[in-house]
A and B are shown apart, each in its own frame.
Chain A
C-alpha cells in the first residue's frame, strides 16, 4: 500500500513538471533550447587543407556552443557538425565523390547549411547545382580560387543565390600581389622576376595574370615555367633564374613538393627573393621540418588571420584559441577563413531570426562584421567577399615572411608587424 502511494505521489509530481515545462519554455524564451542547427561540412579530410578547415570550423562551433549556441528568434540552438569526406583533393579530382558528399549531407544528414568546401574549384563548381536544387545556403571557406565561381552567381543570380564564398579568387589576389611587388620595387629597386607555377588551373591562371600584369608595369620577366604536380627537381629552373639574375622568384604552388624547391633555392644560394603563393610553407612546422631553409621566403595567404596581428583583434583570439585546443598555431589560411565562416553564419541567422534560405541569403548579403581577416562584406550580386588592403574596410590577404623561425606579417602595410628582409646572400 505504502509503495503504491509513493509511486502515485511521484507520478503526480512528474505529470506536474511535464505540464509546466512547455509553459516555462514559452514564457522564458532565453531559456528555450531548440533542435540543433546542422552544419554540413564537405571537405577532403585526407589532405592538410581539409584538416585545417575542419579544425577552424570545429573550434568556432565549440566556442559558440559553449556560449549557449545561436539565438534563432529568441530560441537558443546549438550547432551540430556533420562532416563528409569529398576526396576532391586527390589526384584526378574525383568530382563525383564531392557531389555525393554534398548530397549526402543535405539529404541524409539534413544539413541546414553547407560550410567549408568542396575545396577544389572543379568540385565546388559542380556542387552549385546540387545546392541550388536543394535550396541549401552554402558558404565556401577553403580553396576554390577560380573566378568562375562568383561569375556564375552574378550571371545567374536566381539559380545560384544560395552560394557564397569567403576565400576570394585569384583576380583580387593577383591585383594585391602586383601592388605588393610594386611597393618592394619602390623600396629595393627590384624589377626582374622569374615565375614558377604548378600545372593546375588556378596556378596557371595566376601565373599568366602575374606575367601580363608585371610586364605592363615595366618589369622584366626572366622566365615563366610550369611544373607538373609532384615535380621533385627544380634545379634547371633555379639555374635559369640565377643565370638571368632574377631578383624575385615567384612560385605559385599548392603541392607539398614545393618544399623541395625551397630547399634547392637555399642550397644553390639563388640570389632571388622567393615570394609567392607557396601553400606548403604556410604551415608553422615548416621551419623545423626544412631545417630553416625557408628563411626569408615570403608566403601569400589568400586571407589573413592564421598569423596573429594586432591590427585584427579577432586574429589574436583565434590564434590563441587554436593553439590552446590543437597545441599548434593555425597551419594555413583555410583555418582562419573556416573559423570565421561559422561566425558569419551565426551573425546572419541571428539577424534573419530564421533558418529560411531566402531570409538567410538576404541577411548574408547585408553582412558587415569583423572576422579574423578584417571586415566581412559580400558583394550582393556575386556573393564574393569584398577585399582590398585595409582590414578596417574589407577582408585582406596577407604576406608572411619566415624570419628567425617565425612567420611575421610583412604586407599589406596596414597589418604588417615587421619590414621585409632579404636573404643574406642577396645583401
Chain B
C-alpha cells in the first residue's frame, strides 16, 4: 500500500511539473528551458509576499502566478519571438534566461535553508494504515483537477481550441484566422502559470532552492521525452511510468539507483520509440 500511495503522489508531482513544459511545446513547438526558473520564481515571490510584505497566503499565491504568467508571456514577446523557427537558438535563449533568473536569486542571497512555504493544511491522515500528510493529498487533488481543467479548456473554449488548432496544423489554423504569435504568447503565459501552480502545491513539502529549478527542468524534460513531446496523455503516461519506477526502485533496489533507472528509461525510449510512448511529433518520420 505504501508503494501505491507514494508512487501515485510521486507520479502526480511529476505530471504537475511537466504539464506547463508540455503545453508550451505542444502548442508552439517551443522548448521553454526557462520552465524550472519560472517554477522557483513563483516559490520565492510567494515567500517574499507572505513573509516580507505580510500579504495573505492565498493572495500571495495568486499574485505570484499572475506575475509569472506575465513574465512567461514577456519571454516570448521580447526574446523568443526574435529567434522563432530556429530550435537551437530557442533552446539557448530560453535556457540563458532561465539561468539568469535562477542565478539572480543566488546572487541576491536566496540561499538559506529557511526559504519554505507553509502547507495548505497541517497534519496527516492514515489511509489503509499508511500515514500521509494532507499536503500530499492536496497535490493529488490539484493535479487531477488541473488535468481535467486543461482538458475542458482545450476542448470547450475558443482560446483552448485555437491552441489545439495551432498545435495540429499551423498553416490551416492561420488560414482560419488564428494568429500564431498570439497563441504562442497565450501558451507561454498558461504554461508559466502551470509551473506556478505546481510550485505552490509542491514546494511546501520541502524548501525553495535555486537547485530546485534545475531539477524541475530535468524532470519535466525526462517526463516529456518518455511520454512523448506534444501529447497530453503522454505526459500522464510518462509521469506515472517514472513516478512508480522511482518508488519501486527505492523500495526494492535502493534509492541511489533511482536516477539510473530514469536515465535507463530515457535511453530505452530514444532507442525503441524516439517519439515517446504516446508522442506524435516524430511518428511519421519514424514510419518513413
Is B10 an interface residue, CB under 8 A from the partner?
yes
On whether the beta carbons of B206 and A232 are closer than 8 Å, the reply is: yes
**B48 at interface, CB cutoff 8 A:** no
Query: Inside 8 A of B6's CB, which chain A residues have their CB?
Result: 233, 235-236, 239
Contact status B131-A232, CB under 8 Å: no
| Measured CA separation A254–B133 after assembly (Å) | 25
List, in ascending order, chain A residues with CB within 8 A of B168's CB.
none
**Distance to closest chain B CB from A301 (angstroms):** 15
A contact set with B: CB distance below 8 Å? 46-48, 51, 91, 199, 225-228, 230-237, 239-240, 256-257, 259-260, 263-264, 267-269, 280, 283, 285-286, 288-291, 331
* B133 close to A288 (CB less than 8 A): no
A226-B254, A236-B6 as given contacts; A260 in contact with B111, CB under 8 Å: no
Q: Are B2 and A236 in contact (CB under 8 A)?
A: yes
B126 closest partner in A (C-beta)? A269
By beta carbon, the residue of chain B nearest A242 is B131
**Cross-chain contact B256 with A236 (CB below 8 angstroms):** no
Binary per-residue interface labels of chain B (222-262) against chain A in the complex, 1 for a CB within 8 Å, 0 otherwise: 00000000000000000000000011001100111011000
Q: Which residue of B lies closest to A257 (CB)?
A: B206
- A233→B3 CA distance, assembly (Å): 12
Q: List 27 A-B contacts (CB under 8 A).
A: A46-B210, A47-B111, A48-B111, A91-B214, A199-B256, A225-B256, A227-B255, A231-B255, A232-B215, A233-B246, A234-B255, A235-B6, A236-B3, A236-B250, A239-B2, A256-B113, A257-B209, A260-B207, A263-B205, A267-B124, A267-B133, A269-B131, A283-B113, A285-B114, A286-B114, A289-B113, A290-B116
- B106 contacts the other chain (Cβ, under 8 Å)? yes
Residues on B with beta carbons closer than 8 Å to the beta carbon of A51: 109, 111
Decide: A289 and B111 in contact? CB cutoff 8 A.
Answer: no
CA distance A199 to B258 in the complex (A): 12
Task: Let me know if B254 and A283 touch, CB within 8 A.
Answer: no
A269–B109 Cα distance when bound, in Å, is: 34
Is the Cβ of A285 less than 8 Å from the Cβ of B131? no
Partner of B211, one of A91, A237, A269: A91
User: B132 and A268: CB pair below 8 A?
Assistant: yes
Q: Which residue of B lies closest to A91 (CB)?
A: B211
A400 to chain B: closest CB distance in Å?
A: 15
How many B residues, CB 8 Å from partner?
39
Give the residue name and chain of the B residue nearest to A280 (CB): B113
Smallest beta-carbon distance A270→chain B, Å: 8
Partner of A46, one of B107, B123, B207: B107
- The answer on a CB contact under 8 Å between B255 and A226 is yes
Chain B residues within an 8 Å CB radius of A239:
2, 6, 130, 251
Contact of B255 among A47, A48, A225 (CB under 8 A): A225
Most buried by B among A51, A91, A267: A267
Across-interface contacts of A290 in B (CB, < 8 A): 116
**By the criterion CB–CB under 8 Å, are B206 and A263 in contact?**
yes
A-B contact count (CB 8 A): 106
| Residues in B neighbouring A199, C-beta threshold 8 A | 256
Tell me if B122 counts as interface (CB < 8 A to partner A): yes
Check if B74 is an interface residue, CB within 8 A of chain A.
Answer: no
**Which residues of the other chain, A, contact B116 by a CB distance below 8 angstroms?**
259, 289-290
Inter-chain contact A236/B251, CB cutoff 8 Å: yes
The answer to whether B118 has its CB under 8 Å from any CB of chain A is yes
Check A285/B122 contact, CB under 8 A, given A199-B256, A226-B256, A239-B2: no
Which residue on chain A has the smallest CB distance to residue B5? A235
B 195-216 to A, binary, CB cutoff 8 A, 1 in contact else 0: 0000000000111011100110
Residue in B131, B209, B247, B250 whose CB lies within 8 Å of A256: B209
B112 on interface, CB distance cutoff 8 Å: yes
Kindly list chain B residues whose C-beta atoms are within 8 Å of the C-beta of A226.
254-256
Q: Mark B90-112, 1 if CB is under 8 A from A, else 0.
A: 00000000000000001101011
Closest chain B residue, CB of each to CB of A284: B114
Contacts of A48 in B (CB 8 A): 111-113
Tell me, rounded to whole Å, the shortest Cβ–Cβ distance linking B13 to chain A: 8
* B206 in contact with A259 (CB, 8 Å): yes
A236 x B205 contact (CB < 8 A): no
User: Considering the chains assembled together, what is the distance between the CA atoms of A82 and B254 in angstroms?
Assistant: 44
- Residues on A with beta carbons closer than 8 Å to the beta carbon of B122: 291
Q: Which residues of A contact B160 (CB under 8 A)?
A: none
Kindly list 5 other residue pairs between chains A and B, CB separation below 8 angstroms, not including A230-B211, A236-B247, A239-B6. A227-B255, A235-B6, A236-B2, A236-B250, A240-B251
Q: A283-B113, A289-B113 are in contact. Are A228 and B256 (CB under 8 A)?
A: yes
CA distance A257 to B210 in the complex (A): 12
- Residues of B near A233 (CB, < 8 A) are 6, 10, 246-247, 250
Let me know if B112 and A235 touch, CB within 8 A.
no
Given contacts A51-B109, A283-B114, contact A268 B255 (CB under 8 A): no
Could you tell me the distance between the alpha carbons of A288 and B50 in the complex, rounded to whole angstroms? Answer: 13
* Interface pair B255/A286, CB less than 8 Å apart: no
- Given known A-B contacts A233-B10, A260-B205, A268-B124, A289 and B131 have beta carbons under 8 A apart: no
**B112 and A260 within 8 A (CB):** no
Query: B117 — nearest CB in chain A belongs to which residue?
Result: A289
Contact A256 B207 (CB under 8 A): yes
What's the nearest-Cβ distance from chain B to residue A241, in Å? Answer: 12
* Chain A residues positioned under 8 Å from B119 (CB to CB): 291
Question: Nearest residue in B to A263 (C-beta to C-beta)?
Answer: B205
Interface flags for B150-191 (1: CB within 8 Å of A; 0: not) read 000000000000000000000000000000000000000000
Distance from A96 Cβ to chain B, minimum over Cβ atoms (Å): 19
Counting CB contacts under 8 A, is B57 at the interface? no
Query: A292 to nearest B CB, angstroms?
Result: 10
Q: B247 — which chain A residues lie within 8 A by C-beta?
A: 233, 235-236
Q: Which residue of A lies closest to B135 (CB)?
A: A267
A263 neighbours in B (Cβ, 8 Å): 133, 205-206
